[in-house]
Structure 1
Amino acid sequence: MTAPLLETERLRLRGHQASDLAPMLAMWQQPPFCRYLGGQPLPENEVWTRLLRSTGLWPLCGFGYWAVEEKATGEFIGAVGFADFRRAISPALGDWPEAGWVLAPHCHGRGYASEAVGAALAWGDKNFPRPRTVCLIDVANEPSLRLANKLGYKEYARTELGSTPVVLLERFAPG
């Protein structure tokens, strides 16, 4: 299975392509972008591994991450979707799809995250056999916590990922 194409008013969510490497690398080199994602820019080989992982989730899990591009410009601006990262945390996330989103800093404050994640969740609501998804967010990442709350996620636990305090949230599909 490959990523299905999703479109919103302003965005296109599509499968990742090798040509996404350069804009992904540029995004992962920006300190404001990395602030809640480990704190350090990533080298090219790690960004490439993330791109491969985003693509590889689809055939193995039946879900994964989409590349997000702005319709008006065709510019790659981030990624949203679902994963099974098999994180070694307690409490465990189990086999529930883990939602995630990252957008380039120059796109923050435009409502793109809400639009893109909303489209991904609508796809998940129609395609997942069970209604629950989870997400994990750095406790200091107030914008992502607000977005998660806006989209129906509720906190159910707190833990640490490495040495970073994180909030675990869950959402149940409507209906």
Structure 2
Amino acid sequence: MTTAPLLHTDRLILRPHGVGDFDAACALWSDAQVVRHIGGSPQDAQAVWFRLLRYAGMWSLLGYGMWVVQDRATGAFLGEAGLLNAARGLPELDGVPEAGWVLGPQTWGRGIATEAMAAVLGWADAYLDAPAIRCIIEPDNGASIAVAGKLGFAPFADTQMEKKSVHVMERKQGM
């Protein structure tokens, strides 16, 4: 697979990123509230551009990657969700796809992250030969820890990344 397939849920469309998503992605990744648990630093336009290129490259090279999360009713860009290999240098992530989601404040508390990632994980169970998927979450990110739990992720390990503590959580295939 060289590009993200379309996934549909009751409220969402998950679709491949395109050049037209650049401005919305810049707004998302430059929002200090959004990134406070994801590295903590807003990203500039160049970093976001390189992120979009990485997303396309992951699909091309790995057969999986990230999707745009779009509101099915309005077409609004809500955020991003999917699977990645970020070569973070963490042995706990070696050999397994990493789940990730980042959504704008307008979605928080509405179940959008859970709905989007349930679609992603359903796709992964059907199409990826991966015995498990893991995610990393900062310990004070209670919202994402709750989402991960709803999706079947369980504690796997605690480690350090960029001098910060992170939980590594794992979901076995088909959970």
Measured on the aligned residues, the alpha-carbon RMSD in Å equals 1.1
Q: Does the 8 Å contact 1:125/1:131 carry over to 2? A: no
Q: Any runs of at least 4 consecutive aligned residues in structure 1 with deviations exceeding 2 A, and if so which?
A: none
Matching residue's letter, 1:104: G
Asked if 1:6 is matched to 2:7, the reply is yes
Q: Deviations over 1:37-56 (max 9, x none)?
A: 12121110001111111121
- Aligned 1:49-128 pairs, distance under 5 A: 49-89=50-90, 91-128=91-128
Q: Name stretches of at least 5 consecutive residues in structure 1 with no aligned partner.
A: none
What is the one-letter code of the residue matched to 1:25? C
Tell me, yes or no, if structure 1 residue 18 matches structure 2 residue 19: yes
Native 8 Å contact 1:158 1:167 kept in 2: yes
Give CA-to-partner distance per residue, 1:114-147, whole Å, 9 cap, x none.
Answer: 1100000000011111331111111111100011
CA separation in 1, counterparts of 2:124 and 2:174? 11
| Corresponding position: 1:28 with 2:36 | no
What TM-score comes out, normalization by structure 2 length? 0.96
Aligned length: 174
SS at match of 2:93: coil
Q: TM-score if structure 1 supplies the norm length?
A: 0.96
Q: Secondary structure at the match of 1:92?
A: helix
Distance, in Å, in 1 between the alignment partners of 2:31 and 2:131 is: 35
**Aligned AA (2:95):** D
Task: List runs of 5+ in structure 2 lacking aligned partners.
Answer: none
Cα separation, 1, equivalents of 2:59 and 2:167:
26
- How much identity, in percent, do the aligned residues show? 41
